[in-house]
Chain A
Amino acid sequence: MSDFALSRGNWLERGIGALRLGRANLNLRLGAGIVLAWALVALLAPWIAPFDPIAHNLPDKLQGPSLAYPFGTDNFGRDILSRVIYGARIDLQMGVIGVLFPFLIGTTIGSIAGYAGGWVDSVLMRLVDVVLAFPFLVLMLAIIAILGPGLYSFYIAMALVGWVSYARLVRAQVLVLKTSDFVTAARSLGFGRLRILFRHILPNCIAGSIVFSMSDVVLVVLSGSAISYLGLGVQPPTAEWGVMIAEGQNFITTAWWITTFPGLAIVFMALGFSLLADGLAERLGLRQR
């Protein structure tokens, strides 16, 4: 289908084309820029970080921002800038993997529930209700506590809890499209159920989920940091922003830079994905200005 590059119907082509041609709105450009910048930082961390993020250097401990240490050092003398740079690797990975699996699981379950209807729909939606009945973080913590602390436990917990929003979102749109004329037309032409669902319904309702997933990245990164802060996620001495804030809180009155810079990093990554989500929604025509 690549020879139809001029057409504007496909969201993927439109999204990519918009980025390339610079026709995008400001939100989309800013958001994509920030996210891309973080991705570069994460990718190039070994080359751009001035110091080792883990090795202790006690003679230089607790130094304020200076030319040698732009973001200062922590109580072990580790360069905060280097740790923030290395932290981008973990936090970006958390954001992407922590959203990818809920997205895939939720989209599949939601579309099956919406398209099959009947008791299948009832069973799956009651399952959603059960998950939603618990507060998000409490359920996450419970699952991680059972599995044991660590990044993989976090991903598994995220996949078990996070899919419900995608399932509801996709189900609602599948329900609308199920009775649309082009789906009835596909049925009248004798197309199979799987073909109708995956080729005709899903591509037309996935855009909303993609936009939601961008803003969901924010939530995942924040909860990942929160869980690391509580000691159940990434373990020290690994550089992760939530861990860094947790470690720095004892020095908050004497060495503000230890907690402030990783905090700002979280804010800026969240901002990037929020803007990207907003811009994408506008670009895909999901939201009127």
Chain B
Amino acid sequence: MNASLPLLDVKDLMVRFRAAGAGIPFTRPRYINAVNGVSLTVAPGETLGIVGESGCGKSTLGRAILNLVEFESGAVRFEGGEVSARDKAAIARLRGETAMIFQDPYGSLNPRIPIGEAIAEVLRVHRKVGADAVPARVAELLRLVGLTPDLAGRRPHQLSGGQCQRVGIARALAVEPRLIIADECVAALDVSIQAQILNLLMELQRRMNLALIFISHDLGVVRHLCRRVAVMYLGRIVELGPTEQVFSAPRHPYTRALLAAVPDIDPDRLLAPPQLGGEPPSPQDLPSGCPFHPRCPHAQTACARGNAPTLRATIPGDLRAGEVACHFDLPPDTQQGEDP
């Protein structure tokens, strides 16, 4: 395989849901545009963070990439092959190479199935090992995620949240995937457990050369874990680039506001006054022009007109330095140089 070819290539992905209460005859159905033309690539072994506030479509994006929700338009290419809902063989291939880790550690495990059996089921479905080798492989996977094999007979409710999340990771690893999408996978855990799970993920990611898409609203965690980061707002990526670049010198006003809103652990330092007023607009009727303009401190009349700005290189001709979806080249924000 060509080394320069991305593992995952997402082009103009668009996901929309029928709005609740719609479906009155002879009226046009209303839609919610959850993901609105997202393009991104992930190289083998790369870690990409996706951040944004609640409802910005980051979870939906993750699920659409894995074809767990259907997308309206756009394309997902995995290892060069296009994956669409109609192509069962392509989906089966995708399932054999990808896995997902969920937010709710209890909710993502079948409450009636002992965890060893839950892992064994994955091995059997994917025929990863012969039938007689399944118990040994289950024990190996449990040890790999830091659990003792004698927990195999327990059901999820007999385990702690952190243990369940480890089981979720073990199940994902049982597939032997090349890409894992972790959707807020530590948000429901205690801070001390969060660190354990994150370290486990990082270690496994490095050891197995996994590509990881890490969806989170926790900027600190993403900065710690990811090499690149995409910032989403209302179903669009507004800024994409190397994590350090984006966090230390954010170019998009939304990214700046997001970073400024991170509370500091030092109680003597006052919280910065909120830069953003109000709620994000309803995705049912998006603002014209730049979707961020109603809340943007730098908005000008031109921002409300035309199409939403698309991602462009911050340094012309050099995509690796980062991309931003803003009409303006804002002056570097000096306040943001420090740790969030």
Contacts and interface: CB of A to CB of B under 8 A. Distances in A.
B6 to A, nearest CB: 21
Given A181-B107, A182-B109, A188 B153 contact: no
B125 A190 contact: yes
A180 B107 CA distance: 7
Nearest to A9: B155
Interface residues of B, number: 34
Interface in A2-48: 3-4, 7-10
Contact of A188 (B68, B155, B157): B68
Given A3-B153, A181-B107, A195-B125, A188 B66 contact: yes
A198 to B, nearest CB: 12
18 contacts: A1-B117, A4-B114, A7-B114, A180-B107, A181-B107, A181-B108, A182-B107, A184-B63, A184-B100, A184-B102, A184-B108, A185-B109, A188-B99, A189-B122, A189-B171, A190-B92, A199-B113, A203-B112
B107 A7 contact: no
B326 interface: no
B154 interface: yes
Nearest to B126: A190
Contacts of B223: none
A43 to B, nearest CB: 33
Interface in B77-97: 92, 95-96
A182 B108 contact: yes
A203 B111 CA distance: 10
Interface in B140-169: 153-155, 157-158, 168
Contacts of B111: 9, 182, 204
B99 A189 contact: yes
Given A185-B102, A191-B125, A200-B110, A7 B155 contact: yes
Contacts, number: 73
Given A188-B95, A189-B175, A9 B122 contact: no
Nearest to A190: B95
Interface residues of A, number: 24
Interface in A169-188: 180-182, 184-188
A165 B282 CA distance: 40
Contacts of B153: 3-4, 7
B104 interface: yes
B100 A185 contact: yes
B158 A7 contact: yes
A289 to B, nearest CB: 20
Contact of A189 (B113, B117, B125, B154): B125
B124 to A, nearest CB: 10
A204 to B, nearest CB: 6
Contacts of B99: 188-189
Contacts of B114: 1, 4, 7
Given A1-B117, A185-B102, A188-B95, A204 B112 contact: yes
A52 B339 CA distance: 93
A199 to B, nearest CB: 8
Contacts of B117: 1
Contacts of B112: 9-10, 203-204
Nearest to B154: A7
Nearest to A186: B110
Contacts of A9: 111-112, 155, 157-158
Nearest to B94: A190
A10 B153 CA distance: 13
A197 to B, nearest CB: 13
Contacts of A189: 95, 99, 122, 125, 171-172, 175
A187 B125 contact: no
